[in-house]
Amino acid sequence: RKEVEQDPGPFNVPEGATVAFNCTYSNSASQSFFWYRQDCRKEPKLLMSVYSSGNEDGRFTAQLNRASQYISLLIRDSKLSDSATYLCVVTPGGGGADGLTFGKGTHLIIQP
């Protein structure tokens, strides 16, 4: 099983819709979780951290399910500008391995 797995998509979603995607991780000792956004041919940018209690930032909601070892990202009222690749990042406990383990990303396309 890969350390961090994401559905690559693409997810084609009409503008204004709500879309959600998950990311599963294999290391139960993982400590910190993040969502990054990467636009075409650009560097990934930190979108939001994911906290155990779940957290919201405007139209974006992130949740962590430790029992099932996945994190999720929900985007409400999607905009054309939300089109991007969304990468989940997991940091293993104790700072081991590479310290920042990336999923391959989920490609989201918001259609007018």
Partner 1 sequence: EAGVTQSPTHLIKTRGQQATLRCSPISGHTSVYWYQQALGLGLQFLLWYDEGEERNRGNFPPRFSGRQFPNYSSELNVNALELEDSALYLCASRLTYKGYFGPGTRLTVL
Binding site for partner 1 (CB under 8 A): 31-32, 34, 41-46, 49, 87, 89, 91, 97-105
State in angstroms the smallest separation of the CB of 37 from partner 1.
Answer: 11
Closer CB to partner 1, residue 43 or residue 58? 43
Closer CB to partner 1, residue 42 or residue 66? 42
State in angstroms the smallest separation of the CB of 99 from partner 1.
Answer: 6
Closer CB to partner 1, residue 21 or residue 34? 34
Closer CB to partner 1, residue 44 or residue 62? 44
Q: In which residue are the tokens 């400590």 written?
A: 31
State in angstroms the smallest separation of the CB of 83 from partner 1.
Answer: 16
State in angstroms the smallest separation of the CB of 28 from partner 1.
Answer: 17
Three-class SS string for the chain?
Answer: CCCEEECCCCEEEECCCCEEEEEEECCCCCCEEEEEEECCCCCCEEEEEECCCCEEECCEEEEEECCCCEEEEEECCCCHHHCEEEEEEEECHHHCCCCCEECCCEEEEEEC
